[in-house]
Amino acid sequence: MQTVVQELWNKCLRIIREDISEQNFTTWFAPIVPIKFHNDTLTIQVPSQFFYEWLEENYVSVFRKAIDQVIGKNGMLEYSIVVDKGDRKNPPITFNLPNSASSSSNAIAQHVIQRNPFQFKDLDSLELDSYLIPKYTFDKFIEGDCNRLGRAAGLAVANKPGLTSFNPLMIYGGVGLGKTHLIQAIGNQIKNQFPEKFVLYVSTEKFTNQFVNAIRNNSIETFTNFYLQVDVLIIDDVQFLSGKEKTQETFFNIFNHLHQSGKQIILSSDRAPRDLAGMEDRLLSRFKWGLTADLQQPDFETRIAIIQKKLQDDGIHINIDVLEYLAHSIQTNVRELEGVIISLMAQASLTRKEIDLELAKSTLKSIVNDQEKELSVDNILDVVTHHFDVNLETLQGKCRKKENVFPRQVAMYMLKELTNLPLKSIGYHFGGRDHSTVIHAVQSISEAMVIDKTVEKTVRKLFNRFNIAQN
């Protein structure tokens, strides 16, 4: 039997469905869960803040119409927004916000946060805080060929800290490939299963700073003793120990002590131990005692799975063509992939557009352009003057010698092709020449490129300096 609230909501859905496309319905309305109906107020649960904002931006009148018809003019709508999905022990955290089409007495300021998910502590005090970030879990760490060994070893360690032969466990890999996520996930899982264990996550940078402060304050012993209490020591980015002899020595002692007492050590590094320069041999050999596993760039399928997971966590559904486009376009690392997804969601809410292929393309293009800021007039002129070995004044001047005219025309051609500058502005950068001079230059170079292979090659080479394929 359906509950009253479900029945009411189904009626609303039938009305809403008439007003919007099937795809929008599936994306934005199917994931909504009706929670309760009380005092003419219908509370619906939405999967994320982003989702809520989107609905408020785009569907207020659709909601109003449905509420009017189903509940009546006094009907109100309230969102319950999931801000943290919770876990086995903790219920999800949600907070409630009125719909803006509801009565104005329901001010937004009334929202209640039921449980504060964040507790801040003084970062430098040596209290028993693990410095683990709850969102980094195994559940959110997508498995692929690129990380299978590291992930499996991480899970093994998490289930039996200090008791496997993976001690230390050393995870290495390039930037943005998930090292911090994985070693944090191990810490979180251990904390979950063995609450009595003292798990500590520390970046190598912080470890070094604490050590330097300890020297300054004459408190090396306190520093070392603190680390000797740890049951699971997670040290991120150990490549930063390189060249720091004193810190390495102290770390070596802590390492030995913990290892001998059966405590688990987990390390990350941006390169394999054999490639760590500036590191004492005895420390390096310790790193190799346990298991070393690398993280590689995710393959296509894994990238798809990662994007899907991220969007799912935000309660957003996108079509497979958009997914594939993104997975094909961003191949560097996961952090970059995430960055694009976030811009895409932001872009979608700003422009009130659906996340479709067109939006994905334009968002990606704007991000890429941002990274190539070097496409400025100055830089283009710089590339040309360097290549032809002329000075800037000559390039911009009036001298009609052939060896100066050609570079000048190439520079004009490049400005025309690579920037959105009007012809007049291009002329401006060459001592205020008029637009017909620029047109003439562009035509000359275009023709020369067809006739003369060396010209074509030169221009292509200059374009390549800006990472742009010439068409």
Residue 189 is a binding residue for ligand ADP (CB under 6 A): no
| Interface pick for ligand ADP out of 147, 292, 363, 385 (rule CB under 6 A) | 147
Residue 180 is a binding residue for ligand ADP (CB under 6 A): yes
Residue 178 is a binding residue for ligand ADP (CB under 6 A): yes
Contact by Cβ (8 Å): 142, 239: no
Tell me which stretch binds ligand ADP (CB under 6 A): 178-186, 209-217, 379-387, 425-433.
178-186
Contact by Cβ (8 Å): 124, 131: no
Residue 338 is a binding residue for ligand ADP (CB under 6 A): yes
Residue 250 is a binding residue for Mg ion (CB under 5 A): no
Return the residue matching tokens 């966590």. 313
The CA-atom distances, in angstroms, between 325 and each of 27, 303, 330, 404 are 19, 11, 9, 45
Q: Name residues contacting ligand ADP, limited to 290-309 (CB under 6 A).
A: 306
DSSP secondary structure code for residue 102 in this structure: S
Contacts of 90 (CB under 8 A, 6+ apart): 115
Give the number of residues in contact with ligand ADP, rule: CB under 6 A. Answer: 16
Residue 316 is a binding residue for ligand ADP (CB under 6 A): no
User: Do you find a cis peptide bond into 34, omega within 30 degrees of 0?
Assistant: no
Closest CB to Mg ion among residues 137, 362: 137
Closest CB to Mg ion among residues 29, 201: 201
Tell me which stretch binds ligand ADP (CB under 6 A): 136-144, 215-223, 373-381, 404-412.
136-144
Q: Which residue is nearest to ligand ADP (CB)?
A: 178
Give the number of residues in contact with Mg ion, rule: CB under 5 A. Answer: 2
The CA-atom distances, in angstroms, between 330 and each of 179, 193, 290, 425, 426 are 19, 36, 34, 35, 34
Tell me which stretch binds Mg ion (CB under 5 A): 178-186, 321-329, 331-339, 373-381.
178-186
Closest by CA position to 249, among listed 276, 218, 275, 224: 224
Residue 180 is a binding residue for Mg ion (CB under 5 A): yes
Strand partners, 38: 41
Contact by Cβ (8 Å): 168, 177: no
Residue 335 is a binding residue for ligand ADP (CB under 6 A): yes
| Interface pick for ligand ADP out of 32, 142, 157, 381 (rule CB under 6 A) | 142
The amino acid occupying position 404 is N
Binding site for ligand ADP (CB under 6 A): 140-142, 147, 173, 175-181, 306, 334-335, 338
